[in-house]
Chain A
């Protein structure tokens, strides 16, 4: 498995070449270089997955954790050292496949989508940087390396959201994303330090993790703080505010970063620390689960009223990540047959969600490309103009709604089964959220492809199907979405590593499918026709609720109030006053004092040598007199 190092080096190289020498490349060549290096990475990732999963299992029936590279960077004590390396275990290999696939699709897609944009080379350089950091994050051998790449991912996300840096809203969005996630990462860092201090190791290997014994009291706190960082990246309530704004970036970037890969880093983090959560902090894990459930519900309810199609998808992403977090949170043991099912379900949903959400975003990009607007009002009736986008989008919608045989059905079903196993309340809550998911996705679908056509706009500029470079990724991802559900995922990834054969729980499966079909029919009934009397009537009846949801329940305003009115006014302003008047004043006084004294005594330096000598003589005499008097 020595070649795995290339998976990190190739995108790094292409980032350096494009980043430093980008202006000497023709845009097309820059894109080709980035795509070529990423195709190699994808190939290598598939090879890794193939070799890894076809290798014989160990005696316990698990896949061995391999570490092809691991060098010690900063040794502190025998067990506590910062390493850099590559660790292969089922979830990291699975993530390699997800990231490289989606990233390759986005690279291909951007070829056409970003054509003619200023800074095409820069765009590909940042894409490479992001891919490198994300791959480094998932293969991290220890939590510190993960943190390192975690921050790199944050930086490249910031750079890509702010790609249109002349647009004020994009700049504001990039800053917001960076500051919010960075603020959350503070919790992550404190968690790492606590974990290192009390747990005595940073390493992720199962051997090292089983050695973590000391400070079992502090570990739940450390793990909880780590989740704060994860919540920031994965947009859990109340740190979700950056994700909808991050949609200011180019759409393929949203597909790559803010749908499929980076935002699941928090889920991945919890999955990485899963054995410790189970062993030391099951309560923290359940709290995380409820946070996820609330976020999923909250985001789904906002998604029902948004009109910007990328915003709908963003809230849907938040909601789906909530599903994954819930699935982890409802785990009660390491055994997949007794309460550990959620781990597998979460990873499975991560996998399938990455594919169909990337598909949805790329489809949205294709639509935006055709009508030059994000607003649903500019769309409607697009199915005639864009057949491929229409069909692939429909497949993704069916997948996310949980209709068999598409991939989302299988993973969501496992999540619901795990929830019911934990508690029926959680199970029903999640079933309702799944129904809401189906509803808002089909509201979106009908709003875009059916409903009332915006004739005026479409006559002025007839929407057309996107070129092959854009439709190929759509078709590829749609194909994956159709078949991914039949991958024997449980045998590859499960909470204790042993093969787990997925079996559908008939009651859960039938309930969820029936509910999904009911909400789809509801959405069809409300939104398919050109006029929407029911929706308008509901919007009027519950005007305040509708209004609040459209304003995302005023969470942004709350943040605005807290930061501007409370933090800025009550804390920052007095501190600024203190700095300006007391600290600066003290140093100004020192400078003024020195200046004034010097001004007074400058006449002593007259340039007359004899005067100096005279003073010297007087001094000598004074010394002599003093000495004589003393002795």
Chain B
């Protein structure tokens, strides 16, 4: 079980690191997906090893995947709009949202 958790922890912190260091919004989105996938792995793993008779964790993972798919769609739509407006999707150029 530890091996699975190590993989998911690495994925999780890789996601966090990418979220803070990438300058491209697409890359940030990919980092978020990494974080989500790490949690999905955790759901599946804990369900598999701790409660082998139950299925809630698996379903929750599926549920989360569906949510992340929808969220990705929305995020990409936002990015397209940003691109249309400022011809760019670099996050440092998105500093007009402070007022």
Contact = CB atoms under 8 A, between A and B. Distances in A.
Interface in B1-51: 16, 19-20, 28
A608 to B, nearest CB: 6
B86 interface: no
A610 interface: yes
A606 B96 CA distance: 9
Contacts of A606: 95, 98
A617 interface: yes
B20 A608 contact: no
Interface in A579-630: 605-610, 613-614, 617
A609 B28 CA distance: 11
A603 to B, nearest CB: 10
A613 B91 contact: no
A388 to B, nearest CB: 83
A606 B92 CA distance: 10
B98 A609 contact: no
Given A608-B92, A608-B94, 6 more contacts: A606-B98, A608-B91, A609-B94, A610-B20, A610-B91, A613-B19
Contacts of A605: 98
B6 to A, nearest CB: 20
Q: How large is the interface on A (under 10, 10 to 19, 20 to 34, 35 or more residues)?
A: under 10
Interface string B37-78: 000000000000000000000000000000000000000000
Contacts of B94: 607-609
Where chain B touches its partner, the secondary structure class is helix
A435 B19 CA distance: 107
A617 B20 contact: yes
A607 B91 contact: no
Q: Which of A605, A606, A610 has most B Cβ within 10 Å?
A: A610
A609 to B, nearest CB: 6
Nearest 5 interchain pairs by C-beta: A607-B95, A607-B98, A605-B98, A607-B97, A614-B20
A59 to B, nearest CB: 87
24 contacts: A605-B98, A606-B95, A606-B98, A607-B94, A607-B95, A607-B96, A607-B97, A607-B98, A608-B91, A608-B92, A608-B94, A608-B95, A609-B91, A609-B94, A609-B97, A610-B19, A610-B20, A610-B28, A610-B91, A613-B19, A613-B20, A614-B20, A617-B16, A617-B20
Nearest to A608: B95
A379 B94 CA distance: 91
A608 B92 CA distance: 6
Contacts of B98: 605-607
Contacts of A614: 20
A70 to B, nearest CB: 65
Contacts of A613: 19-20
A441 to B, nearest CB: 81
A606 B97 CA distance: 9
